[in-house]
Amino acid sequence: MNRYLKQYFISLVSFSIIVILLTVGFFYFFPQWYLPSTPFALLFFIVLHASLNSWTIQVAQKSPTRFSRQFMLMTTIKFLVLLMTLTVWLFLISQKLIFGVSFLGFFFLFLIFETVILYKISMKISNR
């Protein structure tokens, strides 16, 4: 594993631990908002971001000029997968509002994380 992927996975694990702790703390104070599907949604976000962003980092290392196209493609694929997953989950879950809000919260947290981390990594790759 190269250093950029290693840096990304260390950042992802650290960020995921922080999000898990925030989620557990939130549900400790607001237990009525807890849904059994929330941990699966969080795991889904972690796996999805790990797979697609590692693919983007590998492409950026081969050709830094293709990074922006690859990033946009990856973001589009991720958005479509998330939209399909949200649609299916909303048909299966009875408490739609609570799940939708938590799913949207995870989406924005991971979106901010990936933007910051991939920007830093892409700058390091283009400056080498």
**pLDDT on residue 38:** 87
φ/ψ of residue 2, rounded to 5: -80, 170
What three-state secondary structure class fits 104? helix
Q: What is the pLDDT of residues 26-85, one digit of tens each?
A: 999 988 888 888 899 999 999 999 998 888 888 888 887 788 888 888 889 999 999 999
Range of the domain at 76: 3-126
What lies within 8 Å, CB to CB, of 40 at 6+ separation is none
pLDDT band at residue 126 under the 50/70/90 scheme = confident
The band of 116, judged by pLDDT with boundaries at 50, 70 and 90, is: very high
Among the residues of the chain, which ranges form H helices?
Answer: 3-29, 38-62, 67-92, 96-126
73 phi, psi to nearest 5 deg: -65, -45
Tally of structural domains, the chain: 1
Provide φ and ψ at 127, rounded to 5°.
-90, -5
| pTM of model > 0.75 | yes
